[in-house]
Amino acid sequence: MARGRTQAPEKARAKTAPARPEAARPVARGAAPLMASIPQFLYVCALLLVVTRVGLWLAQLAAYGVGGVPLPLASEDAYITFRYARMAASGHGLVYNAGEHVMGFTSLPWTLWCALGALVHVDLVWWSRLTSLIADLATLWLGWQLLAGPSGATRPEPAVAQRAFAVFFAGWPMFAAAVATGLEVNAFLALALLSSWLVARGSRAAGWVLGVFAVMRPEGLAAALVIALAARWRARLEALAVIALCVVALTLYYGSAIPQSVVAKAMLYGTPGPWAGRHWWEWLLPFPLGRFPVISEGQHLLPLMAVFAAAVVVGARALAREPRSGATLAAGAGLAVWLGYATLGVAYFWWYLVLPLGAFALLAAAGFAHVVRGRAIPIAAALAVLGTWTVAVPLYIGRAQAEAGSFVPPAELLAARGTPGESVLLEPIGWIGYRSGLRVLDESGLVSPDVARRRVQGPGWYADIVRRAHPDWLVVRAEVLETGEAFAGAGAPFRSAAERDAVLAGYTLERPAPATRSGAFAVYHRRAGG
């Protein structure tokens, strides 16, 4: 009887309880509103992110000005893409030199996006910077979502992982400096996390975003393949459709879907292998291999390295138990790119590190709670992140000032004295090519395939190009003329000092290279009948 009496009220309540409305029922994992319950900590990190990016821009502005000429605000390489974008917006097509169909850029989506900015007459430096800032805010939010962990996740204390990633990404100087470059790397990182998040959720938009990520940069194809392993077949097919469309369009327009910039760098710099390319991985080891990291970004990580390396290992083990989670997919995509760089020994360009470091940040954040106890180490790590700015700001501003000091004077001379239709042979084709508007013969072969092919054939390539193409202007580094060695890449420019003198005999020195500045350029103009 007692049992019946205790059950009766329960049954009565079950019969009389109103059915919960659909909105009150538990939703499927990952289907919660996107902006629901954003914690204050993430808002603080978003504010930190904006302050660091804008603060670096203002610091650059305070340092601008070389001989009264405003410093270019973007990275040297960004102006290659900007010139393609400007040419497309002005009706010449997606070309660097009018009428020459050579794919000298590395990112089709980014170049088209910049072309849209040029078409609506927005300054491309600010267009690209604001886009990258938005991409970084998206990366911050996506990293937070990816590290939240599914219900019943094997990772304890996901909030620690979220906070660790947010503080590092928002406060680390390299990510802020990359926003200022005008390059596509911050958007590339955001797309890696976005496509991973969409694939893990089974979103109908996953395939299209994954396809755009795959064609964002040449190495994006390998990274997208990692994410596609967990995608539905529909998403895979949609991504393949995007890739196929781009490959066909680029092949029809340029004759190849492989960027000439990739081909030229592979020809001139080579692929020396993982030991020669240990600049890609030595900064991950807490045990120095006879030297400390040679790259500045690796040196910046040294105060964090013991904890960072341990957290990466532990985080990788934790994420390996969730092979289809968004965090695992995003980290795997970045690691695939990093392994490619390290295995081949790819030449180091610091902005290449954005995606790999973002992936390692996810791994380290996932393992941080396992290797750290208490508050002392997290506080010390946060201080190390913020304190790195005291050495990073002079580095990145110094790099910008060095580019300005080398590139602005010859660019202004060519802009003032060059005439439409004239040509110039030079190696840094970004700002000088963008500012002057002259037809460019590129020493590195990024937009001049014949030059790259000639360089790998041996010494005397510079002399042969001058004799064959008769460029109206020569912009050449002083040390190249003095030493007879190429600034970078394969092939000596002259067979002998006599050949060098014979080449220069047909030109008038218009601007000598300042003896006080390293990396300065001399400017020569072809004599009448030369």
Residue 521 lies in a domain: yes
CA separation, residue 47 to residues 41, 50, 130, 361, 384 (Å): 10, 5, 15, 19, 19
Residues 371 and 430 in one domain: no
CA separation, residue 81 to residues 91, 190, 351, 412 (Å): 16, 20, 15, 20
How many CB atoms are closer than 10 A to CB 337? 25
**381 confidence band (pLDDT: 50, 70, 90):** very high
**CA–CA separation, 239 vs 223, rounded Å?**
13
Domain range for residue 271? 40-387
Residue 30 lies in a domain: no
Residues 259 and 338 in one domain: yes
Last residue of a domain, one of 341, 356, 387: 387
Residue 31 lies in a domain: no
Report the half-sphere exposure of 36 (CA within 13 A, side-chain side). 5
Q: What is the DSSP letter of 209?
A: H
Residue 237 lies in a domain: yes
Residues 219 and 312 in one domain: yes
Tell me the per-residue pLDDT of 267-320, one tens digit each, with 9 for 90 and over.
888 788 999 999 999 999 988 888 999 999 999 999 999 999 999 999 999 999
Residues 317 and 454 in one domain: no
**400 confidence band (pLDDT: 50, 70, 90):** confident
Tell me the per-residue pLDDT of 30-68, one tens digit each, with 9 for 90 and over.
444 444 457 899 999 999 999 999 999 888 777 665 444
Tell me the per-residue pLDDT of 452-504, one tens digit each, with 9 for 90 and over.
999 989 999 999 999 999 999 999 998 888 888 888 777 899 999 999 999 99
CA separation, residue 467 to residues 216, 490, 503, 527 (Å): 38, 20, 8, 14
Residues 225 and 313 in one domain: yes
Residues 366 and 422 in one domain: no
Which pair of tokens denotes residue 2?
């007692």
**CA–CA separation, 197 vs 228, rounded Å?**
12
CA terminus-to-terminus distance, the chain: 116
Residue 402 lies in a domain: no
Which pair of tokens denotes residue 408?
């602005």
User: pTM for this structure?
Assistant: 0.89
Q: Is residue 405 predicted with pLDDT exceeding 90?
A: no
Tell me the per-residue pLDDT of 177-203, one tens digit each, with 9 for 90 and over.
999 999 999 999 999 999 999 999 999
For the chain, what is the radius of gyration of the CA atoms?
27
Total tally of structural domains belonging to the chain: 2
The three-point CA angle 522-528-530 to 5° equals 70
How does strand 473-477 pair with strand 439-442? unpaired
Q: Is residue 216 predicted with pLDDT exceeding 60?
A: yes
Residues 433 and 381 in one domain: no
Residue 287 lies in a domain: yes
Whole-number pLDDT of residue 157 = 67
Amino acid identity of 21? P
Q: Is residue 175 predicted with pLDDT exceeding 60?
A: yes
Residues 379 and 448 in one domain: no
CA separation, residue 336 to residues 134, 142, 187, 440 (Å): 25, 20, 18, 35
Whole-number pLDDT of residue 270 = 78
Last residue of a domain, one of 387, 422, 442: 387
Residues 382 and 413 in one domain: no
Tell me the per-residue pLDDT of 252-267, one tens digit each, with 9 for 90 and over.
999 999 999 889 888 8
Residue 20 lies in a domain: no
Residue 7 lies in a domain: no
**CA–CA separation, 181 vs 85, rounded Å?**
16
**414 confidence band (pLDDT: 50, 70, 90):** very high
Q: Is residue 130 predicted with pLDDT exceeding 50?
A: yes
Residues 272 and 416 in one domain: no
**362 confidence band (pLDDT: 50, 70, 90):** very high
Residues 257 and 207 in one domain: yes
Residues 128 and 204 in one domain: yes
